[in-house]
Structure 1
Amino acid sequence: MGEQLIISISREYGSGGHEIARKLADRLELAFYDRCMLDEIAEQMNADVSDFHKYDEKPGNRLLSRRVGNHTNSYEEIIAQFQFDYIRKKAESGESFIVVGRCSENVLKDYDCLISVFVTGDKEHKIQRVMEHFDLSESEAYTKMRRHDRTRKQYHNRYSEGKWGDATYYDMCINSSPLGIEKTVNVLENYVKERTGNQEL
């Protein structure tokens, strides 16, 4: 690939956003980064990766955290900053990639090559997807979905200028429910090609 291309995909829980991001990365032959970046970060630091995953995309508690200058005792904030730095380094290297979540549309907002996407979905479709994936009842799936979305929103809004899911802060917001996963990927693939002017991606 010639010019650098970075795609940030944020998503509501149960929308299939993660699967859509991975399929799009495969289609466009781009590197793909999600929570697994913590494995590499932990290995580089010789740290316990399970601790990293425990605090991944968690907002933390402002009342219990303490900040002195640029230093903080909040594990959630430390893990978040590790990931933000990781994403920035990938972008600074000139690499083209897709990244899921991690406030990436805000972290990389100064890159002209960034295309930011937010994937949403109809409530019923999201609940059904969570039910099938985790073998849960409807009420259990709904509770899980609400909890994850609340956490994502709090996490995102703590570290970002824009509001989570607010269309103002994304290049494209798309509802995956009417089209399904594959056709949503098709739409995003075509959008990326039109935006970049490169039909050979």
Structure 2
Amino acid sequence: MNKIITISRQYGSGGREIGQKLAKHYDIPFYDNEIITRAAKESGFAEETFARAEDKATNSLLYSLAMGINVYGNQDFGFSGLSLDDRIFLAQSDVIRKVAEEGPCIIVGRCADYVLKEREDVVNLFIKAAMSFRIERAVSEYDIEENKAADVILKNDKRRGNYYNYHVGEKWTDLNNYDLVVRSDLSGIDNAVKCICTYLGE
């Protein structure tokens, strides 16, 4: 398998686990929080700064303009007043491009599909699932109280959507932006992996 796979996923859909299983199957690197660790090391920013960036992202037009950002996703690299969050995004994007240059890998989240959009060897996946399935996983995998799980899921989805919309200028949930969309609640995690492998031509 000579592809770079990016995975966008709804919270609780099992997208990260699917990515890990794919990486193990193909024996290629898996990047999630590893992107943050490497970006922090190379940029000099603290890891906590990267972790907070997604929480602080906004899809506000006025905020975007105030930060000197083109809301269609094109950063003005010559603009000296870039916000800390935008500099963090650029540092993170640089690492994503570097790991892609190093060879086949799995990259979860962080707008990797957008960052690598000019490459022809990238397959962009979106993993989604019904709320009931996601609640069950949130409770079993993340130890979230069942009566709070739905709110946690919606909050995390909103943050991911805002982060993507802010930096990319498109809707995170627009399935036309992805090569393959998988319903993990219908297939199950392992069958989702098999489905993706089949799609990749195995």
Q: Among 12, 15, 27, which residue is 2:13 paired with?
A: 15
Distance 1:143 1:29 in 2: 36
Distance 1:108 1:57 in 2: 23
- State the secondary structure of the residue aligned to 2:171: coil
TM-score (norm 2): 0.84
What residue number does 1:75 align with?
Answer: 84
Distance 1:50 1:164 in 2: 24
Distance 1:159 1:51, change over 3 A: closer
What residue number does 2:126 align with?
Answer: 118
What residue number does 2:30 align with?
Answer: 32
What residue number does 1:50 align with?
Answer: 48
Distance 1:110 1:46 in 2: 27
What residue number does 2:172 align with?
Answer: 164
| Two-structure CA RMSD over aligned residues (Å) | 2.2
Question: AA paired with 1:39?
Answer: T
Would you say the 8 A contact 1:72–1:78 is kept in 2? no
How far off is 1:56 after superposition? 4.1
Distance 1:42 1:10 in 2: 22
How far off is 1:70 after superposition? 2.6
Distance 1:8 1:166, change over 3 A: same
Distance 2:134 2:80 in 1: 39
Q: What is the number of equivalent residue pairs in this alignment?
A: 191
How far off is 1:57 after superposition? 6.5
What residue number does 2:160 align with?
Answer: 152
Q: Establish whether residue 133 from structure 1 lines up as the match of residue 141 from structure 2.
A: yes
Distance 1:35 1:72, change over 3 A: farther
Distance 2:172 2:45 in 1: 30
Query: Which structure 2 segments of 5+ residues have no match?
Result: 69-75
Would you say the 8 A contact 1:9–1:119 is kept in 2? yes
Would you say the 8 A contact 1:30–1:98 is kept in 2? yes
Query: Which structure 1 segments of 5+ residues have no match?
Result: none
Distance 1:109 1:123, change over 3 A: same
TM-score (norm 1): 0.85
- State the secondary structure of the residue aligned to 2:186: coil
How far off is 1:135 after superposition? 2.5
How far off is 1:82 after superposition? 1.2
Write the deviation string for residues 115-170 of structure 1: whole angstroms up to 9, x where unpaired: 11000001100011112223333331111100000011111111225421222111
What residue number does 2:73 align with?
Answer: none
Would you say the 8 A contact 2:3–2:104 is kept in 1? yes
